Amino acid sequence: MTNEKPMQLNFFEPSASQLARKSDGDTSKAAAASVTKSGKASRQRRAVLRAVIVHPGKTTAELAVKMSTPSNVVSRQVPGRRMIELERLGWVTRGDSRFCSVNGTKARTYHATEAGVRIASSGKAQ
């Protein structure tokens, strides 16, 4: 885990400024505003947290495969983007790096923390 301070993020309605860096361009900031306003980021965080709980020790690419259905393929970027937020919230933690079965490259693995399991089982993880 990095030495960054935990993100002060309202899990239900995070501000777009918390999803985009100050140095990001206007298009990234507009995208962050859109996924925040629509609730898409919140739904994705909930889905990624559930996937990490059910499939601990997976990489983001492996989680994307586990989250996919025949009618809805999830790209690796979805868990990757939300994992950072979940990690800053203290709901997931990084595991060991290993070779990813999807990409064949070395990648981080993730595990849910006790707090992540608690929030997911409480139904408050939105």
Establish if 119 belongs to a structural domain. yes
CA 114 to chain centre: 16
**Beta carbons within 8 Å of 44's beta carbon, 6+ residues apart:** 35, 78, 81, 82
Establish if 51 belongs to a structural domain. no
The total number of structural domains that make up the chain? 1
Which residues in the chain land under pLDDT 50?
1-17, 21
CATH number at residue 106: 1.10.10
Establish if 101 belongs to a structural domain. yes
Closest CA to 85 of 121, 57, 119: 119
pLDDT at 4: 46
The β-bridge partners of 110 are 58, 94
> Is the pTM for the entire model greater than 0.85?
no
Establish if 94 belongs to a structural domain. yes
Establish if 4 belongs to a structural domain. no
Measure the CA–CA gap between 81 and 28, rounded to whole angstroms.
Answer: 13
Contact 36, 13 (CB under 8 A): yes
Tens digits of per-residue pLDDT, 63-73?
Answer: 999 999 999 99
Establish if 71 belongs to a structural domain. yes
